[in-house]
């Protein structure tokens, strides 16, 4: 009994007799079903053979029928032609010679026309044959291209499906595609591709070398701060960044860092405003106001010094220092700075100066905050120097321009006066002004200016307390406006040695002194 049970268990059969009888009966029924199936397959095979023989007989009968129809068509045309000849002969027997000649002429004409039409038809037929061949060739090429495009579509769809199912890509997009049932459907693949393209940021397509170079540059830039992991999975570059507080893809890390920056900016806004308010109101506003007032005083002092300088024709110069025209913001800032008691406008002044600093930072973020403050708060760039020509008529004033209609010498006088005034303003603004050297150097000075005007210009330098070193042709400078002057005259004839003469002017007379 144990052997029986082991044998049944080995063949995965029940050990009970009734169950074994049931298995035997089932196997007997299966055997009869297999015999019936074999007989049915033999019947199907015999029916298929009869069907194949019938098809072959049908093909032979069809070929014989086509051949018989072609022979009948040929015989019918032969009979029709001969019948037409017989009918023509019957008609000719009853016709006169003139009618026969006319009929013959008509027949000849009709024959020529028919032959020409036949020739054209034959040429058209040949052309149609060529066109058909070309169309078939194009159809074959298009069919091959369609097959190739479909294969490429299937491959591209499969690649797209595989890449979209990568964990980093699947986590970043909701686009899904069935890799088996839909990759050969152009509409499905196109819809998925458009969805992926819409999800990607706009920009130029980057090649693999450019991607690798960008990754290397990014890795060097964040070395020691972030950990960058780069892998390539099925042709897809996968980048993960760790160490920024939210590990993940660059997009996820960027969103996290951007959120933190926004939070930090909001947290610092009030503190920044308090510091900037104290900075501006505590010192910068007063310093700017003091410097602007000092610049105005310097301009006024220049005009006082220039008031006595006129050309021989009565041309004078006045210097103006005004806020830039057309810049409403600068005009408002200078107006607020000019009102030291305007405490109610402090917020407006702070906001305007803050915008200028932020604009300087936007232009060059790498320059540093000190450079941004220096650029934004440089009051000298807020103003324009105007040069007004006075005279020669009383109360006559003109802006310096090509339409001022003054002589070349007068134009040079205006230029020199403006230059000396600018030098005086710059030298007077230096620290330790009482000890600083006030000196200008002029090469070929006062060319094309008459002697009285030269005296006025030198006298202006004396009144401005500016020392000068000048070179010029026949320039002596021995005028009453200059209290003391040393002149060195250099003479040379052709290639001979130069001879130097030292002359000292004491304000009244010239004295020859030895050269050292």
Which 3 state secondary structure label does DSSP give 1? coil
Q: Which domain holds residue 135?
A: 91-158
Same domain, 283 and 320: yes
| pLDDT at residue 516 tops 70 | no
| pLDDT at residue 404 tops 70 | no
- Domain assignment present for residue 514? The answer is no
Same domain, 257 and 294: no
Same domain, 100 and 239: no
**CB-CB contact of 288 with 379 (8 Å):** yes
Mean pLDDT for the stretch of residues 83-89: 82
**Angle, vertex CA 303, rays to CA 302 and CA 304, nearest 5:** 90
What's the confidence (pLDDT) of residue 412?
Answer: 83
Q: Whole-angstrom Cα distance, residue 417 to residue 461?
A: 9
Mean pLDDT for the stretch of residues 148-163: 77
What's the confidence (pLDDT) of residue 172?
Answer: 53
Same domain, 287 and 368: yes
- Domain assignment present for residue 200? The answer is yes
Same domain, 71 and 106: no
Same domain, 311 and 236: no
Could you tell me if residue 53 is left (phi over 0), alpha (psi between -120 and 50 degrees) or otherwise beta? alpha
Same domain, 145 and 241: no
Residue that finishes a domain, picked among 207, 234, 268: 268
Per-residue pLDDT band at 413 (split at 50, 70, 90): confident
- Residue, of 270 and 384, whose pLDDT is higher: 384
Mean pLDDT for the stretch of residues 470-490: 89
Per-residue pLDDT reduced to its tens digit, 229-288:
777 766 677 777 777 666 667 777 777 778 777 776 666 555 555 565 555 545 677 777
Q: Whole-angstrom Cα distance, residue 329 to residue 344?
A: 18
- Residue, of 52 and 342, whose pLDDT is higher: 52
Mean pLDDT for the stretch of residues 122-131: 89
What's the confidence (pLDDT) of residue 266?
Answer: 63
Domain count, the chain: 4
**CB-CB contact of 349 with 288 (8 Å):** no
What's the confidence (pLDDT) of residue 180?
Answer: 44
DSSP string, 385-412: EEEEEE-SSTT-EEESSGGG---HHHHH
- Domain assignment present for residue 401? The answer is yes
Same domain, 262 and 275: no
Residue that finishes a domain, picked among 199, 233, 268: 268
Residue that finishes a domain, picked among 142, 158, 174: 158
| pLDDT at residue 59 tops 80 | yes
Q: Residue 488, preceding bond cis, omega within 30 degrees?
A: no
Q: Whole-angstrom Cα distance, residue 228 to residue 247?
A: 10
- Residue, of 370 and 270, whose pLDDT is higher: 370
| pLDDT at residue 484 tops 90 | yes
- Per DSSP, what are the bridge partners of residue 45? none
Same domain, 365 and 248: no
Q: Among the residues of 94-176, which ranges form H helices?
A: 97-164, 167-172
What's the confidence (pLDDT) of residue 301?
Answer: 76
- Domain assignment present for residue 47? The answer is yes
Per-residue pLDDT band at 173 (split at 50, 70, 90): low
Mean pLDDT for the stretch of residues 477-484: 90
Q: Choose the weakest-confidence range: 98-107, 119-128, 138-147, 251-260.
A: 251-260
In the chain, the percentage of residues whose pLDDT exceeds 90 is 5
Q: Whole-angstrom Cα distance, residue 236 to residue 168?
A: 10
Q: What is the domain-level CATH number for residue 437?
A: 3.40.50
What's the confidence (pLDDT) of residue 509?
Answer: 92
Question: Which candidate, 435, 298, 439, 280, places its Cα nearest to that of 380?
Answer: 298
- Domain assignment present for residue 175? The answer is no
| pLDDT at residue 513 tops 50 | yes
Using CA atoms, how far residue 359 sits from 13, 279, 363, 376, in Å, is 91, 18, 6, 8
- Domain assignment present for residue 66? The answer is yes
Same domain, 95 and 243: no
- Domain assignment present for residue 434? The answer is yes
Q: Choose the weakest-confidence range: 1-10, 86-95, 200-209, 474-483.
A: 200-209
| pLDDT at residue 323 tops 90 | no
Per-residue pLDDT reduced to its tens digit, 179-222:
445 666 777 777 777 776 676 656 566 667 777 777 777 777 77
Same domain, 429 and 284: yes
Same domain, 420 and 282: yes
**CB-CB contact of 272 with 361 (8 Å):** no
Per-residue pLDDT reduced to its tens digit, 65-80:
999 999 999 999 899 8
Mean pLDDT for the stretch of residues 120-135: 89
Using CA atoms, how far residue 195 sits from 168, 457, 509, in Å, is 17, 79, 97
Mean pLDDT computed over every residue of the chain: 78
- Domain assignment present for residue 163? The answer is no
What's the confidence (pLDDT) of residue 278?
Answer: 56
């Amino acid at each position: 009994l144990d052997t029986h049970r082991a044998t049944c268990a080995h063949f995965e059969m029940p050990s009970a007799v009734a169950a074994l009888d049931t298995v035997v009966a089932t196997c007997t029924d299966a055997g009869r079903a297999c015999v019936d199936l074999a007989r049915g397959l033999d019947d199907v095979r015999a029916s298929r053979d009869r069907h194949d023989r019938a098809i072959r007989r049908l093909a032979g009968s069809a070929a014989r029928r086509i051949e018989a129809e072609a022979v009948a068509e040929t015989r019918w045309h032969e009979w029709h032609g001969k019948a037409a000849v017989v009918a023509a002969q019957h008609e000719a027997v009853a016709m006169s010679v003139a009618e026969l000649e006319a009929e013959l002429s008509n027949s000849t004409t009709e024959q020529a026309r028919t032959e020409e039409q036949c020739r054209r038809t034959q040429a058209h037929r040949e052309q149609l044959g060529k066109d058909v061949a070309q169309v078939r060739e194009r159809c074959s090429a298009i069919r091959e291209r369609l097959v190739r495009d479909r294969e490429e579509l299937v491959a591209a769809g499969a690649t797209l499906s595989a890449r979209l199912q990568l964990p980093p890509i699947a986590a970043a997009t909701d686009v899904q595609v069935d890799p088996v049932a839909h990759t050969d459907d152009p509409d499905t693949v196109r819809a998925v591709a458009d969805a992926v393209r819409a999800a990607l940021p706009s920009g130029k397509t980057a090649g693999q070398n450019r991607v690798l170079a960008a990754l290397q540059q990014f890795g060097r830039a964040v070395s020691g701060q972030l950990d960058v992991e780069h892998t390539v999975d099925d042709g897809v570059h996968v980048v993960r960044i760790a160490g920024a507080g939210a590990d993940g893809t660059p997009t996820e890390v960027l969103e996290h860092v951007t959120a933190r920056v926004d939070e930090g900016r909001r947290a610092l806004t009030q503190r920044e405003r308090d510091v900037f308010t104290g900075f501006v109101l505590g010192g910068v506003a007063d310093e700017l106001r003091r410097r602007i007032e000092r610049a105005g005083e310097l301009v006024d002092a220049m005009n006082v010094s220039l008031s006595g300088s006129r050309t021989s024709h009565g041309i004078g110069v006045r210097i103006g220092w005004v806020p830039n025209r057309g810049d409403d913001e600068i005009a408002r800032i200078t107006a607020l700075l000019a009102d030291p008691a305007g405490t109610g406008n402090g917020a407006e002044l702070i906001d305007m100066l803050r915008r200028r600093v932020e604009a300087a930072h936007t232009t060059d973020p790498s320059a540093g905050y000190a450079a941004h403050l220096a650029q934004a708060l440089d009051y000298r760039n807020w103003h324009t120097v105007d040069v007004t020509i006075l005279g020669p008529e009383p109360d006559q004033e003109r802006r310096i321009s090509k339409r001022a209609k003054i002589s070349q010498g007068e134009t040079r006088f205006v230029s020199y006066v403006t230059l000396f005034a600018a030098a005086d303003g710059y030298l007077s603004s230096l620290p330790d002004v009482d000890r600083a050297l006030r000196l200008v150097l002029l090469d070929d000075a006062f060319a094309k200016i008459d002697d009285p005007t030269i005296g006025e210009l030198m006298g202006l330098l004396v009144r401005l307390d500016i020392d000068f070193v000048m070179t010029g042709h026949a320039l002596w400078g021995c005028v009453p406006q200059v209290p003391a002057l040393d002149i060195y005259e250099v003479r040379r004839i052709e290639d001979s040695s130069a001879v130097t003469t030292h002359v000292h002017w004491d304000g009244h007379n010239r004295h020859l002194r030895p050269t050292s």
